[in-house]
Amino acid sequence: MEVKLSASILAADFARLGEQTQEALTAGAHWIHVDVMDGHFVPNITMGPVVVQALRPLADAYGALLDVHLMIEEPERYLDAFARAGADILTVHVEATPHLHRTVHRIKELGKKAGVALNPGTPLTWVEEILPDVDLLLIMTVNPGFSGQKFIPSMMPKIVRARDRLQALGRNIWLEVDGGIHPHTVGDCVRAGANVVVAASALFNAQASITENVRRLRAAIEKALTPA
């Protein structure tokens, strides 16, 4: 199994955003994760399409995907704008839109990969009917809104169940985890079946260089993938 490391710029220094994102990609991150928050669906306000547009050339230079996570109410209103800005994947929350099927298919009409996210308290059954139509399922392992939160251990069985459901469908659907991902938590997530891991404060912090942090995360991922 190949595991993708998605570098969440939520924890980056925005005065050095391009430089830090480039360092993460050079070190071996595969995707750029853009957390879009509106101050309503989650208690924080972050960035919009202009940031996605600014990062598009970097993503192209490194062959990376722009993984855009819409933590916003009524995400269907902004799909066209983020698609034009250059997103590769658009992930919406099942809790944020009453017409999830329509929203997922609109993302596909725009030529993008469609993802659906679940908050920690939302059961997996809420996405049962839409799973055959998505390209990515995101399991939140913290309550969304802020970087640096601790991983919620009770989400591990949910990741395992999600992997079982996706395998039963027989389609190549990414299973992404986001929240509290560090070298000491990422291995368990990978063993549970996640094949995309999102890291923010584990990559962008003052304790070590971005390059060293990517190396540590990738080492932990490789260890988890190595048979005992």
DSSP line for 141-175: SS-TT-TTPPP-GGGHHHHHHHHHHHHHHTS--EE
Domain of residue 192: give its range.
Answer: 4-225
Average pLDDT, the chain: 94
Respond yes or no: is residue 35 known to be catalytic.
yes
Q: Are 75 and 103 spatial neighbours (Cβ–Cβ below 8 Å)? A: yes
* Catalytic position from the list 35, 38, 67, 88: 35
Which CATH number do you get for residue 46?
3.20.20.70
Q: Can you tell me whether residue 63 is helix, strand or coil?
A: coil
What are the distances in angstroms from CA 184 to CA 62, 142, 211, 223?
27, 15, 18, 11
* Residue-level pLDDT at 41: 83
Indicate the helix (H) or strand (E) that contains 191. Answer: helix 183-192
Q: How many domains does the chain have?
A: 1
pLDDT band at residue 67 using 50, 70 and 90 as cut-offs = very high
> Three-state SS string across 76-144, please?
HHCHHHHHHHCCCEEEEECCCCCCHHHHHHHHHHCCCEEEEEECCCCCHHHHCCCHHHCCEEEEECCCC
Per-residue pLDDT tens digits for 22-56: 999 999 999 999 999 888 888 777 889 999 999 99
How big is the chain by its Cα radius of gyration, in Å?
A: 16
Respond yes or no: is residue 164 known to be catalytic.
no
* Residue-level pLDDT at 148: 67
Q: Rounded distance, CA 213 to CA 5, Å?
A: 12
- In one-letter notation, the amino acid at residue 177 is V
* Catalytic position from the list 38, 88, 135, 178: 178
Total-model pTM: 0.95
Per-residue pLDDT tens digits for 143-197: 876 666 789 999 999 999 999 999 999 889 999 999 999 999 999 999 999 999 9
State yes or no: pLDDT of 129 exceeds 80. Answer: yes
β partners of residue 69:
35, 91
